[in-house]
A and B are shown apart, each in its own frame.
Chain A
Amino acid sequence: MIRDHFRVLLVDLSTGRRSITDVDGRNTVAGGSGLAAMLFGKYGMLDKPWNEPGQPLIFTIGPLTGYFPLMSKTVCAFKSPYHDQYAESHAGGRSALSMRFADYDAIVITGRAKSPSALVVGSRQIEIKDVHYLWGSDLYVAGKALRRMLPGSGHRTILRIGPAGERQSPIACINADSYRHFGRLGAGAVMGSKNLKAITIHGDGSFLIPEGNEYVKIFDKVYKDMTDTDMMSKYHNLGTPGNVRVMNDLKALPIRNLQATTDPASEGISGERFAEVALLRNAACAGCPVGCIHIGFVRERFREENRYIYRQISYDHELIFAVGSMLGVMDCFEVLKLIDVAEKMGMDVMSPGVALAWATEALTKGLVTEKETLVPLSFGDSKSYQTALWHMAYGTNEFYQVLSQGTAKAAERYGGGDFACVLGQEMAGYATGETFFVSQALGLRHSHLDAGGYSYDQKPKGKTIEDAVKFLVQDEKGRVFLTSMVSCLFARGVYTDEVLGSCLKSVGYGTLADNMGVVSSGIQKLRWKMRVGSGYRPEDVSIPNRFTEITTWKGQIDIGFLNGLKDQYAKAIWSLAADTEKAEKSG
């Protein structure tokens, strides 16, 4: 609903108390990323550990959620078990529209339930249900049971964790509606620490649309632009897996723990190959006609007498890189099996993939033995990796307990930091060069989506460090406004400032539309203030040697540029965070 404040649902799992409160700030933080940071400032404890029961787990949507196509994402904010600092993770599925129609701009969950519970929310329902019998169940079992137990099929979101989240592993994700995830930085562990197995949100409300024809007219224009442009083709055709071949051709695909950046065998896991032999169908987030979700299948014979099972598994470039090329597994069906295990256990697929790549090299180099790894990890050996993923999820021995804390923690313990492919967290699937490495290593979410460093790397050389810092800061600023609306970043080509301004005006957010520049700067600074305030020191981030040893289509990595950019970007981050305090003092 259009309103000049935020309607926030507060749930304290310790006491069972639930309440709805109005929070001001629509014209300063907009929603989504901005709202999440503001609410963390209000309800979070920057100096207390991530698993302190009072720490909030925050979900937010934005002013345009549900009103326009691809405004289909939800922001989740929390103190991360990965680095014990402020973090954000985003997911789609039906989460955003469910929150819109349940009529909450934000849900803030604090406390720790006495027994494993599910939070069941709708526009006319807020309940905490005991679901102790689901604790220990994998994501698929939990999903099936929750679907049967609760109303709203098709018009609800089911967010849940698996065994990894219950065990509070920092690489545990929150699964959203089977095929999407609040993947990175351990949001699943935060739910686990709160004894919260699931959150279901039933979008059972509705609102009058804005008066006049303007809204419907602008909707139609945006819808047409969204579906007529090549965006549809890029994300809908091969989807992000189309990047595998592109990156491989550029010598920028991380392969076998980044020991190589190109290999003809990667054709076996290219988007083209997946589409040809393994693509079953597509799906979409609610409110998105693009439908970028690619669902593949795996068929497995479980008895001689032609008895088969089949599984449906969604795949993306990041997942293919992490448990495919990074592990030397170059067969698309084997990749799907690995994704499936990680998914079922409720792990972010990217981190365990990269962690197992490190473990494989560590085993080869003798830093660990098979006594630790339990299986003979070897690049290309999908079977061993499948077993290893189970070990990681359950933390079956000390080695896997440490490894499931993240690759950097494992390298601290066993050595091998030089070849740990960690950029703030396990790397994303782009070995494009200096700007991307610095962008992910220092970026607020340590994500390839913080800023377009990977595309900047592909622009002609000759740019200065100052140019690159300016690009990272400016690009992030644009993106945080989009993630405050909350738009899918795939739509950034259509949602220009002008289009966003028209959209906001058409639904009644004229003030926000007139101040987009100031608001996005403010949000950018506020997020950095939360991150730095929770202990982040960007100058302390190191980029392991492995990243400087690679060769891309541009040749060797320019170490001078890399280090210079890292230093300058760290300074820029400090001034962004400090600016907020200055502004607050003067205001």
Chain B
Amino acid sequence: MKILTTPRMERCIGCHSCSLACARLVHKRLSWDTAGIRIRSSGGLSTGFEARLCLACDPAPCVAACPTGAYSQRKGGGVLVRMKLCIRCGACAKACPVDAVYLDPSGEPSVCIHCGRCVPYCPHDCLEHTEFLRGTVSVAEEAAASGEVQS
């Protein structure tokens, strides 16, 4: 299954179009927080931007931590979320090693579901929705994916 990756974040200009698209299309909200991908500056604007998003763990620690089964393992990495089972305990966010789960003030989590709907909104092609099996992609393919020149 495809996952969302961010192979070209050096190109990010900090427009937040990806986060806004995820919030709008997936979570039905106007927000740059309630989103599976969130952009922050890495130590001030002068040092560029980084994306906070699910890295598609398999097995996912958030799934193990979830006490209700709201989070379950997604094939190919990452999680499937059934919000109606969520009790807003925040265990998923605590368990995530890369701070990918956002909890809103009511404790409701937002996490990337690897649907790729944010990808077309990135004006600099920082993002990719791709089959990615860690360690199986050839060096040449990986280099091409993060390549800097596009004619």
Contacts and interface: CB of A to CB of B under 8 A. Distances in A.
Interface of A: 66-67, 69, 97, 100-101, 124, 143-144, 147, 153-155, 177-179, 203-209, 216, 219, 223, 227, 232, 281-291, 293, 312
The 9 A-B residue pairs with the shortest CB-CB distance, nearest first, are: A154-B40, A206-B31, A291-B13, A284-B15, A289-B123, A284-B13, A206-B34, A153-B40, A178-B45
A67 to B, nearest CB: 6
B99 to A, nearest CB: 11
Contact of B44 (A147, A208, A216, A288): A147
Nearest to B123: A289
Nearest to A311: B46
Contacts of B39: 154
Contact of A209 (B30, B41, B123): B30
Contacts of A293: 13
A442 B148 CA distance: 47
Contact of A216 (B17, B25, B34, B38): B25
Interface string B79-112: 0000000000000000000000000110000000
A113 B23 CA distance: 38
B75 interface: no
B30 A207 contact: yes
A289 B121 contact: yes
Contacts of A223: 17, 121
30 contacts: A66-B20, A66-B30, A97-B16, A100-B30, A101-B31, A101-B32, A101-B33, A155-B32, A178-B44, A178-B45, A179-B45, A205-B31, A206-B23, A206-B33, A206-B104, A207-B30, A208-B28, A209-B24, A216-B24, A227-B123, A232-B123, A283-B14, A284-B14, A284-B15, A286-B15, A287-B16, A291-B13, A291-B15, A291-B123, A293-B13
A469 to B, nearest CB: 39
Nearest to A100: B30
A178 B46 contact: yes
A204 B13 contact: no
Nearest to B47: A312
A287 B29 contact: no
A101 B16 CA distance: 13
A209 B16 CA distance: 17
A216 B121 CA distance: 13
B45 A203 contact: no
B11 to A, nearest CB: 8
B46 A209 contact: no
A208 B123 contact: no
Contact of A287 (B15, B33, B40, B104): B15
B23 A143 contact: no
B132 interface: no
B96 to A, nearest CB: 17
Nearest to A211: B28
Contacts of A287: 15-17, 20
Contacts of B41: 153-154
Nearest to B104: A206
A467 to B, nearest CB: 39
Nearest to A70: B15
B33 to A, nearest CB: 6
Contacts of A312: 46
A60 B123 CA distance: 28
Given A154-B40, A177-B45, A227-B123, A285 B32 contact: no
A324 B129 CA distance: 45
B44 A286 contact: no
Contact of B29 (A154, A155, A206, A286): A206
A282 B123 CA distance: 12
Given A101-B33, A289-B15, A289-B17, 7 more contacts: A154-B40, A154-B41, A155-B38, A206-B34, A208-B29, A284-B13, A288-B15
A207 B31 contact: yes
B129 to A, nearest CB: 18
A285 B39 CA distance: 13
B46 A67 contact: no
A312 B45 CA distance: 10
Nearest to A143: B44
A97 B15 contact: no
A223 B23 CA distance: 16
A290 B20 contact: no
Contacts of B105: 124
Contacts of A204: 33
Contacts of B38: 154-155
A154 B24 contact: no
A283 B39 CA distance: 13
Contacts of B20: 66, 287
Interface in B32-59: 32-34, 38-41, 43-46, 48-49
Contacts of A284: 13-15
A279 to B, nearest CB: 13
Contact of B28 (A124, A209, A286): A209
Contact of B32 (A144, A203, A209): A203
Most B CB within 10 A of own CB, among A154, A177, A209 = A154
B78 to A, nearest CB: 22
B87 to A, nearest CB: 20
Contact of B13 (A69, A147, A208, A283): A283
B111 to A, nearest CB: 15
Nearest to B38: A154
Contacts of A216: 24-25
Interface in B93-151: 104-105, 121, 123-124
B13 A282 contact: yes
A99 B46 CA distance: 22
Contact of A219 (B16, B24, B123): B24
Contacts of A67: 30
Contacts of A283: 13-14, 45
A232 B15 CA distance: 14
A97 B32 contact: yes
B16 A286 contact: yes
B15 A285 contact: yes
B88 to A, nearest CB: 15
Contacts of A205: 31
Nearest to B29: A206
A232 B30 CA distance: 24
Contacts of B33: 101, 155, 204, 206
B37 to A, nearest CB: 12
A139 to B, nearest CB: 12
A101 B102 CA distance: 15
A209 B14 contact: no
Contacts of A144: 44
Contacts of B13: 281-284, 291, 293
